[in-house]
Amino acid sequence: MIPVLYLVVYFLSYSAGFAGLGVCAFAALRGGPRWLWLFMAWLASSIFFMLIRNVTYFLKLYLNHPSIESSLGFYVGYMLTTAAFVGLMAFGASYLMHPGRRVIRRAVTAVASGIPLAFICMLPAFESLAADRYALRLVLINVVMYYAFVATDAILIYVWVHVKLLTDRVIRSILLVNLVSGGVYIALSVAQWFTYYAKLYDINDFSVVNVSLFLMFLGNTFVIGRAYLARSRHGHSPAQPRPYDGLDDRERRIVALIERGATNKEISETLGVSISVVKNTIYRVFLRYRVNSRTELLSRLRAQGRPGEQVPADAPPRAESLTADVEAIANR
């Protein structure tokens, strides 16, 4: 009965994974956002991340390979799939949360994926110093396994702290799904740790990766399919998020003033707050709309149905003339 249950878990996880790839591909080809291709790459890395574990387990159990975990092929495959999985997870999280910070994103991705790759490069040096190279490989796999667990925890905490700043409902829903599935992964990993914490790495029949990734695949497939493939009864795309969603009263007023072309000083005088408060509020708005400048913000608002008002370059708005307009726009 138990082996059948494991097979069901494996089947569901792979089915959900390939369904997610298909939904993302269709959504991207039908005009979805560019980040869907990045998300597809991470889905593919997730499938390979669990595939190498499941295939190795069946090779060990049914094809008489009792020491397959210590083979060079498994060692290299384990490091490569872990590097791809953790690296793309770090890259995707930073891209969705802060799309403009390319240098930081590249640095974080290089570190996240570089550590498992470094273990491949350093293996010959380690083996030249070890008496038992097979046991050494298992120790190194253990180290990288714990590294992947800690890195996943760090990324989940980072997402949890910043997810409330997002106004894009689709991205926010995807990240919330990943938080839930990541929480399941952490809980199951901690529970399973008590069974092998004093042992060398050993492929086991119950893979917590399959369970958590199944939840992630299923939830993200539903969210992306509903957002980019579903149609209403009239054949139209689902409604886009309404501008100003998720902003408080002050943020809405400042966005309204930005639409009017006001400077930080004019916004400060209009709302009766300091310039530092204005700058900090604008920074939060940029994070929520995932933009890096006022120009990008106005473009995002126009794309969501708010054309904004063009102000002649030779007639900048005065702070005292904006108050009434702000009240009208902010309370729409």
Q: What is the mean pLDDT of the chain?
A: 79
Q: How far is CA 234 from CA 30, 227, 275, in A?
A: 18, 16, 47
Residue 191 in domain: yes
Structure confidence at residue 25 (pLDDT): 92
Q: Which residue has the tokens 């399973």?
A: 192
> For residue 4, what are the contacts with CB-CB under 8 A and spacing of at least 6?
none
Structure confidence at residue 312 (pLDDT): 37
H helices present in the chain, as ranges: 2-29, 35-62, 72-97, 102-129, 133-162, 169-196, 208-228, 249-260, 264-271, 275-289, 294-303, 319-330
Exposed, middle or buried: residue 278 (CB in 10 Å: 0-12, 13-18, 19+)?
Answer: buried
Question: Are residue 261 and residue 196 in the same domain, yes or no?
Answer: no
Residue 270 in domain: yes
Question: Are residue 49 and residue 100 in the same domain, yes or no?
Answer: yes
Residue 236 in domain: no
Say yes or no to pLDDT of 108 above 70.
yes
CB 140 within 8 A of CB 115: no
Least confident window among 132-141, 181-190, 297-306: 297-306
- CATH code of the domain covering residue 65: 1.20.1070
- pTM exceeds 0.85: no
CB 6 within 8 A of CB 209: no
Per-position DSSP letters for 57-94, written without gaps between them: HHHHHHTT-TTGGGSHHHHHHHHHHHHHHHHHHHHHHH
Least confident window among 151-160, 206-215, 294-303, 319-328: 319-328
Question: Are residue 223 and residue 254 in the same domain, yes or no?
Answer: no
pLDDT band at 2 (very low <50, low <70, confident <90, very high): low
CB 177 within 8 A of CB 213: no
Residue 213 in domain: yes
Structure confidence at residue 115 (pLDDT): 95
Provide the number of structural domains found in the chain: 2
Say yes or no to pLDDT of 279 above 80.
yes
